[in-house]
């Protein structure tokens, strides 16, 4: 599996992670499919698991299946207002995830982000949380970066949900590692769901040149081919789908000419 370096720490991170929105929001006593996904996930060498209090029982399920296993790079979020409620929610995440430290703590959808980042930076010094981050839309990220203040240089990750077609527009893509304001940033992207559009459609023959064997790999390789992306985090509770997703983490990745061709194909539907 391709690995990319987290600019802020130098740590190598496999480029395919695992999202848990809806897919891990299940009865903690009935987690057979999720366990199989993690088996495929770990066998491939992937490490990052992303969750949030917003995702129902997902944190609890992840905690039950991984416990305090040092193998995983665990990411979660805070999603509430106020310093004390934020601390309480993050403490609850530690309990549910069964971890003494969390690799990546994020502010979900910018909810009271300035307050929570202060707490995260304090915890980072105590090694309770590895990095502070924002889980946001691209437009929100742009607004923050336009501010003149430099006191938020400790934002080390930006988790952005981005459209495949939007990534081809110069004014809609933020090359995070190259930003002067955030020289140590990295980006995690959640793939957009185009599967309804491609249902029943055959892959173009030219995709084989890039090792693409299914539509999941088509979308994921398109995103991974952008140099600003460190990791993508597709969610699934299906072991077969997890295997397909992980297949996108192999070379080769599409060149820029091919990425434009891929975007044009989607836009033509």
Q: Tens-of-pLDDT digits for all 269 residues of the chain? A: 999 988 777 888 999 999 999 999 999 999 999 999 999 999 999 999 999 999 999 999 999 999 877 899 999 999 999 999 999 999 999 999 999 888 888 888 878 888 888 888 888 777 776 555 555 554 455 556 555 444 544 566 777 765 565 555 444 444 443 333 332 333 444 444 566 778 788 999 999 999 999 999 998 998 888 877 888 888 999 999 999 999 999 999 999 999 989 988 887 87
Q: List the domain range (segments joined by +) for residue 45.
A: 12-194+227-251
Report how far apart the first and last C-alpha atoms of the chain are (Å, whole number).
31
Q: Is residue 51 part of a domain?
A: yes
127 lies in a domain? Answer: yes
> What is the per-residue pLDDT for 250?
93
Residues 6+ apart with CB under 8 A from 231: 4, 13, 14, 15, 16, 17, 48, 188, 189
Residue 268 is predicted with a pLDDT of 83
Does 205 fall in a domain? Answer: no
Asked if residue 200 is part of any domain, the answer here is no
pLDDT of residue 141: 57
Per DSSP, the three-state class of 156 is: strand
In a domain, 61, yes or no: yes
Tell me, yes or no, whether 103 lies in a domain: yes
Kindly report the pTM of this predicted structure.
Answer: 0.85
Asked if residue 52 belongs to a domain, the reply is yes
| Total number of domains in the chain | 1
- The set of residues, in sequence order, having a beta carbon less than 8 Å from that of 154 and lying 6+ positions away, is 117, 120, 121, 124, 132
Distance CA 192, CA 173 (A): 15
Contact 13, 73 (CB under 8 A): yes
Query: Does 259 reside within a domain?
Result: no
Residue closest to 228 by CA, chosen among 112, 141, 117, 105: 141
pLDDT score of 205: 96
Please report, for the domain that includes residue 61, its CATH number.
Answer: 3.20.20.100
């Amino acid at each position: 599996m391709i690995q990319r370096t987290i600019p802020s720490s130098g740590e190598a991170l496999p480029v395919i992670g695992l999202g848990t929105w809806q897919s891990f929001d299940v009865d903690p006593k009935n987690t057979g499919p999720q366990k199989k996904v993690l088996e495929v996930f770990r066998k491939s060498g992937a490490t990052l698991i992303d969750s949030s209090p917003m995702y129902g029982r997902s944190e609890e399920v992840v905690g039950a299946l991984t416990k305090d296993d040092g193998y995983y790079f665990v990411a979660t979020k805070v999603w509430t207002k106020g310093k004390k409620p934020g601390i309480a929610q993050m403490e609850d995440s530690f309990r549910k995830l069964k971890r003494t430290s969390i690799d990546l703590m994020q502010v979900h959808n910018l909810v009271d982000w300035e307050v929570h980042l202060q707490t995260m930076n304090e915890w980072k010094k105590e090694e309770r949380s590895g990095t502070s981050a924002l889980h946001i839309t691209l437009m929100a990220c742009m607004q923050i970066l336009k501010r003149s203040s430099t006191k938020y240089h400790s934002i080390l990750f930006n988790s952005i949900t981005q459209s495949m077609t939007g990534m081809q527009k110069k004014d809609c893509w933020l090359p995070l590692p190259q930003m002067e304001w955030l020289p140590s940033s990295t980006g995690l992207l959640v793939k957009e769901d185009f599967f309804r559009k491609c249902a029943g459609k055959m892959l173009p023959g030219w995709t084989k040149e890039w090792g693409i064997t299914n539509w999941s790999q088509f979308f994921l390789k398109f995103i991974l081919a952008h140099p600003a992306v460190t990791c993508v985090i597709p969610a699934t509770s299906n072991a077969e789908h997890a295997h397909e997703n992980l297949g996108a983490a192999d070379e080769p990745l599409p060149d820029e000419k091919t990425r434009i061709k891929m975007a044009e194909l989607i836009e033509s539907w």
